[in-house]
Amino acid sequence: MESITEQLKGMLEEKKIFKSGNLFKCILGLNEIETNVFSYLLKNDNASTMELAKALEKDRSSIQRALQNLYDLNVIDRKSMSLKDYVQQKGTDETNKRGYLYVYGAKDLKTIKKEFRDLLNRWYRKMTDYIDNIDSLFDCYQKDGELC
C-alpha cells in the first residue's frame, strides 16, 4: 500500500484531483479489479456477473471474487432476479429465459459516504493511538534489529 506521503505527492502531480480509484484503494483496500467492479456498479444497477465480466473484459471467477469482497465490505447489494425480468430490463428480445440469477448494485451514495467516513475515522483513531504510544516501540526489537 502506498504511503500517505506518496499519495499526497501523487495528488499534487495530478493537479490536486484525488481519483476515485485511489480513494477506493486507500480507504477500502481495493485492488484494480475490485475498483473497476465497484465503479461500474456505481453507474449501473442490477448487473450480473457475466455482464461485469464482459464489460470489464475479465474472467467470471475474478469478478465473483471481487463481488464477494465488495459485498463483505458492505458497499454493494446482491439480490436474486428472474432471468426473464433481467432480460427484459436489459432490453433484449429473449423472453423464453427461465431461472434466476444474482444481480448486484452499489449501495446508495449516502450509505457509501457514511461507511467511508466511519472507516476513515476508525483508522484515524488507531493511528493517533499508535503515534501517542510510539515511544514504547523503541524498547522492542526483534532478533534481526527491526522494530516490533
Q: Which domains are assigned to the chain? A: 4-134 (1.10.10.10)
Can you give the pTM of this predicted structure? 0.72
Rounded-to-integer distance, Cα 92 and Cα 32, Å: 30
Question: Over the stretch 71-96, which tens digit does the pLDDT of each residue have?
Answer: 998 899 999 988 888 888 877 766 67
71 closest CA partner among 34, 21, 100, 99: 34
Question: Over the stretch 51-75, which tens digit does the pLDDT of each residue have?
Answer: 999 999 999 999 999 999 999 988 9
Q: Looking at 24-107, list the stretches that DSSP marks H as alpha helix, in order from N- to C-terminal side.
A: 32-43, 49-56, 60-72, 83-90
